[in-house]
Structure 1
Amino acid sequence: MRLAIFAATGGVGRHLVDQALEAGHEVRAVVRRPQALHRELPVVTVDLSDPDPEMLVRAISGVDVVCSCLGPRGRSEIGVLSPGTRVIIDAMNKAGAQRIVAVSGASVSTVPRPGRPNPPGREPGDVAMMEDALRSSDLDWTAVRAPLLTKGPLPGNYRMAEGHNVPRGFRLSRADTAHFMLSTLDNPDTVKRALAVAY
């Protein structure tokens, strides 16, 4: 399959690039800093905070699946997920692309309730708005709700849940996050679903 991987230089993105290439997929990296790429492959330079619309559509045109590994690198970048995803959705509509698999967060289910009356913080709120953007689109989307991401290996023994977080599932390696994303690419059972994954 032909993949466009956004944030291909990030923690999950690097693993996704490596595993996708090993699986025989064609990969196009969509990044802010092409010099940070660890592999030689087709690249499109796009800053989603101030994107060139034509360049963004070109980045997506002709691919089978868009993989979004967007996420804040630090506290100063909290809030980038939902606006960046909306930009990607708009470009996908213009390019005629239909399938997107996006990294989300386990914290998205942290909503006000009697036992926890305070609303979600800034980061969970951004994640929730990102998923809302996916749900309101006409795309074939999958949201991968990952917990705390680690630098661990690729054991592949993670668990999955829908509608709630994985019970006592507090961690997942970036390698396994990428592994699960790849497993959803052409799996119709994962379309229009938010799936939590953890050990």
Structure 2
Amino acid sequence: MRLVVLGASGGLGREVVELALSEGHSIRAFVRDPASLADFGNSPYREGLSVVAGDVLDPGTLDGLFVEADAVISAIGSPGNGPSVVRTLGYRNVVDAMERQGAPMLAAASVAAVEPGVNPMALASAMTHRHLLKDVRGMEEVIEESNLDWVIVRAPRLTDDAPTGNYRFANRRPPLGGVMISRADMAEAMLSCLHGPGRRLGTIAVAY
């Protein structure tokens, strides 16, 4: 598949790029600083990987990004716990650009605590993360109102542990007892939603 990965230089984004390349996909990685992926393969980048500099908050940098893409995987995040519109406004720009450029499918990483009734301890404290959750809710609304095929993949706490392949899917909230998942397994779960018999659409959650 020809994939665009947004937020490719973050912890989850790098796992998505690494796994997708190992599976033979062609990757266009969208990052603010191309040097952040300079360690991927030989000079300047690994075969099958191209890197595009830009910012989802700047619609002009999205021009042409999604042309001929089969799908987009997004690991867009925002730093800190203060007020942010990175997700809400960033995804509005992304969705508009995808629809104009004909990219059909979006898989977006989200957080489990955005679902009402989910234990907020999955994100430590709902009060501490209230700005984050507001931004995430805005992001999900933008995606749900789009004309794309989409899947929102909610995760509880992400870790840097090795992949296990033992994660479980559930509808909207994490499976019973699921409080964490590694970024490596989250990346695999998101890729699995895009193709093959395990393809999924809608809002789902994943955890161990």
Same-fold status (TM-score > 0.5): yes
Contact 1:109 / 1:165 at 8 angstroms: preserved in 2? no
Distance 2:191 2:134 in 1: 26
Q: Is the 8 A contact 1:166 1:196 kept in 2?
A: yes
CA offsets, 1:37-84, max 9 Å, x none? 1321311111122332xx413111111001111012323574411211
Letter in 2 for 1:190: R
In the alignment, is the contact (CA less than 8 A) between 2:155 and 2:174 conserved in 1? no
d(CA) in 1 for partners of 2:203 and 2:96? 20
Aligned residue in 2 for 1:155: 164
What is residue 115 of structure 1 aligned with on the other side? Answer: none
Q: Distance in 1 between matches of 2:173 and 2:81?
A: 26
The answer for the alignment partner of 2:72 in structure 1 is 66
How far 1:154 moved relative to its partner? 0.4
Which residue among 50, 72, 93 is the counterpart of 1:42? 50
Q: Displacement of 1:7 after TM fit? A: 0.7
Question: Runs (4+) of structure 1 moved beyond 4 Å?
Answer: none
1:194 aligns to 2:203 (yes or no)? yes
8 Å Cα contact 1:12/1:174 also seen in 2: yes
Return the alpha-carbon distance in structure 2 between the equivalents of residues 158 and 63 of structure 1.
28
Q: SS in structure 2 opposite 1:91?
A: helix
Cα RMSD between the aligned structures? Answer: 2.0
Unaligned runs of 5+ in 1: 113-117
Are 2:13 and 1:7 aligned?
Answer: no
Whole-angstrom distance in 2 between the partners of 1:174 and 1:20: 14
Do residues 143 (structure 1) and 149 (structure 2) align? no
* Map 1:16-165 → 2, pairs under 5 A: 16-37=16-37, 38-39=39-40, 40=45, 41-52=49-60, 55-76=61-82, 78-110=84-116, 121-165=130-174
Deviates more, 1:157-166 or 1:29-38: 157-166
User: What fraction of aligned residue pairs are identical, expressed as a percent?
Assistant: 41
Superposition TM-score, scaled by structure 1 size: 0.88
How far apart are the structure 1 equivalents of 2:79 and 2:188?
A: 21
Code of the residue aligned with 1:167 in structure 2: it is L
Residues in 1 aligned to 2:107 and 2:196: alpha-carbon distance in whole angstroms: 11
Q: Is the 8 A contact 2:16 2:187 kept in 1?
A: yes
Q: How many residues align?
A: 190
3-state SS of paired residue (1:124): helix
Normalising to structure 2: TM-score of the pair?
A: 0.85
